[in-house]
Chain A
């Protein structure tokens, strides 16, 4: 296997960044309202060179106020979900772990819904409640997935699936019994949705949260490599297993909570992307975390561009797009693991 060197990480990340920029440009081009390439290029140049006063009104309204923030949101959510997926996979030593499959997304969704029902006016309540929902769920799944003191891969997966369906049942119960203010909104949001322009302040919370949580996970990258061989082995090699697990748990739950609170339960990104990156660039977490972040951003930006355009002007929930691609991939991984 090619050794992971700093130069290699930088090279691969640069390559993926180029792909991401191309995906962003493509996503900017696609949409319900068409813009010609020359129009797009000209206006983008004005925007980049700090002359926004020259922008056409339509470009300003549609590109700057709607499409671009939405793409930025897609980048952040995709990156957050992928890094969370990669982290859970190491933490639980299970390649099929993903915030959605493990029920963590549903836990975050439940938290967010409770917050929406109790205090719809407080903006920061929703991400916070989603974070609490995510941490509680992952703890429960972790405890349920242990057998005789050891994490068992299959038990864990089943525990996640059962927890997910239990949580969806609670969500359904809340949605049918409480005369909710915005039932349709919640139903649509549950399927995963990037369509609603967020307040700019919330985008900042997301950026800061993403950078700090990913940074925290990255500091444990070498330890995660060792942890993959087994907790006892890692401990013998001098890894502070308790600290690493705590840091990664909290950070990955934070990432999931943030992503779910702004975009609902978008499935399979956290599963699909880290695996693709492993296939392409190897399993070393020092490389896997940054490539997963970039890969997740690329995948979600493209998936959302498709969700916007397939039946335009009507919008598909982006979660439907990712599930359509991700579920067959999950089956493939599951089959491949069998002897």
Chain B
């Protein structure tokens, strides 16, 4: 190419690229403008009679439209709470992992809790979306907020917070009475349990959230608190909520029990059988003497059923405390029985 040609080309190229940029800019402007206009005319909650101004457990200010007729839950525990409040018919959508109660499986699924489809959520026209901080992404919450959908996020770190979360959701969803009754009943059961366990030494345990890699729970989780209420003490007490821990540390601590929480107990038993053959795990006294408790998945869900599993844990760890009252019947009712194996004379 000659020098002159090159200059010519460059000038033309510059003009063309400017024209191209302007064209693209105009297109995007038009689309964004149209979008903005549409957004203004939309204002989904404009015709609402009232809204409840609250601060959610993440500290975000939320305007909850009243009454809440359509609920989308983004986590299994929230789905359970909505049903426990007797509001199952107002739940219009939940996640792929919401498996309790069985009616939850029949709801429209909006995807997994981490990567739900915003489109599907919005298409359900929810008055309120429920999220929970440990499972859902902040980005999802913020995106819904920008789309004009009210999101209330829970973030319980203790059993008391799980219960007060229940009460608060009852208030927001127009079921204050049910919420209060539910929480009062659960508190009553827990205080009876504490009375029964009073004076007994808490047993040291390792709660296993995940095996490969080995993940337990930190001290500021509701699970650590649930362990305390069930007469146990986690050997792991990190500030991090879901710490990766080293097997060496566990072997050093020698917890008296290993605690699992699983929705597929058979699979967990297989896994335990496999662990018995592994170096390191073999050195765990709890595994050698079969001091293992497998609780249902409800133990890792901050919802009302958590209290059932706390009671199961207490019975498994401190059977002597329950022996007198239930001498006539086996210690575990069939439907609630944790899969557990206790070595004879372990205590």
Interface residues of A (CB under 8 A from B): 6, 9-10, 13, 31-33, 47-48, 50, 52-53, 55, 57-58, 60-62, 64-69, 72, 176-177, 179, 181-182, 184-185, 188-189, 195-197, 199-200, 203, 207, 211, 215, 218-219, 221-222, 286, 290, 308, 312-317
Contacts and interface: CB of A to CB of B under 8 A. Distances in A.
B117 A312 contact: yes
B119 interface: yes
Nearest to A289: B17
A61 B42 contact: yes
B288 to A, nearest CB: 30
Contact of A313 (B6, B31, B109, B142): B109
B139 interface: yes
Interface in B139-157: 139-140, 142-143, 146-147
B147 A197 contact: yes
B119 A31 contact: yes
Contacts of B138: 181-182, 185
A300 B23 CA distance: 21
A188 B38 contact: no
Given A6-B16, A72-B28, A314 B137 contact: no
Contacts of B112: 314
Nearest to A199: B146
Query: Which secondary structure dominates where chain B touches chain A?
Result: helix
Nearest to B118: A66
A286 B17 CA distance: 11
Interface of B: 6, 9-10, 12-14, 16-17, 20-21, 24-25, 28, 30-32, 34-39, 41-42, 44, 96, 109-112, 114-120, 122-123, 135-140, 142-143, 146-147, 239-241, 244
Given A64-B39, A195-B139, A316-B115, 17 more contacts: A9-B16, A10-B16, A32-B117, A52-B41, A55-B38, A66-B118, A68-B35, A182-B138, A184-B114, A196-B140, A200-B36, A211-B21, A286-B13, A312-B117, A313-B120, A314-B112, A317-B115
A65 B21 contact: no
Contacts of A184: 114, 135-137
B119 A67 contact: yes
A53 B41 contact: yes
Given A188-B115, A211-B21, A68 B123 contact: no
A315 B25 contact: no
B20 A13 contact: yes
A10 B142 CA distance: 41
Contacts of A6: 9, 12-13, 16
A285 B120 CA distance: 43
Contacts of B34: 47-48, 50, 52, 64
Nearest to B41: A53
B123 A58 contact: yes
B41 A313 contact: no
Contacts of A316: 115
A32 B119 contact: yes
A183 B120 CA distance: 24
22 contacts: A61-B42, A64-B35, A64-B38, A65-B39, A66-B122, A184-B135, A188-B114, A189-B139, A195-B115, A195-B143, A196-B139, A197-B147, A200-B35, A200-B36, A207-B28, A211-B25, A215-B17, A221-B13, A290-B17, A313-B109, A313-B111, A316-B115
B117 A222 contact: no
A195 B20 contact: no
Contacts of A72: 28, 31
A200 B147 CA distance: 11
Nearest to B29: A207
From A176, A207, A215, A314, residue with most partner B Cβ within 10 Å:
A314
A56 B143 CA distance: 21
A199 B114 CA distance: 20
A65 B16 contact: no
A47 B120 CA distance: 22
A179 B28 contact: no
Contact of B32 (A66, A185, A203): A203
Contact of B137 (A55, A67, A68, A185): A185
From A62, A72, A176, residue with most partner B Cβ within 10 Å:
A62
Contacts of A179: 239-241
Contact of B123 (A53, A62, A197, A317): A62
Contacts of A176: 244
Contacts of A47: 31, 34, 38
B157 to A, nearest CB: 12
A316 B116 CA distance: 10
A52 B43 CA distance: 13
B120 A32 contact: yes
Contacts of A313: 109-111, 116-117, 119-120
Contacts of B239: 179
A290 B38 contact: no
A199 B142 CA distance: 9
Contacts of A177: 240
Given A65-B35, A68-B35, A218 B123 contact: no
A197 B118 contact: yes
Q: Please give me the 7 A-B residue pairs with the lowest Cβ-Cβ distance, nearest first.
A: A313-B117, A314-B111, A32-B117, A185-B137, A52-B38, A313-B111, A196-B139
A250 to B, nearest CB: 18
A84 B308 CA distance: 57
Contact of B35 (A69, A185, A312, A317): A69
Contacts of A308: 117
Contacts of A315: 111, 115-117
Nearest to A219: B14
Contacts of A9: 13, 16
Contacts of A312: 111, 117, 120
From A196, A203, A207, residue with most partner B Cβ within 10 Å:
A196
Contacts of A13: 20
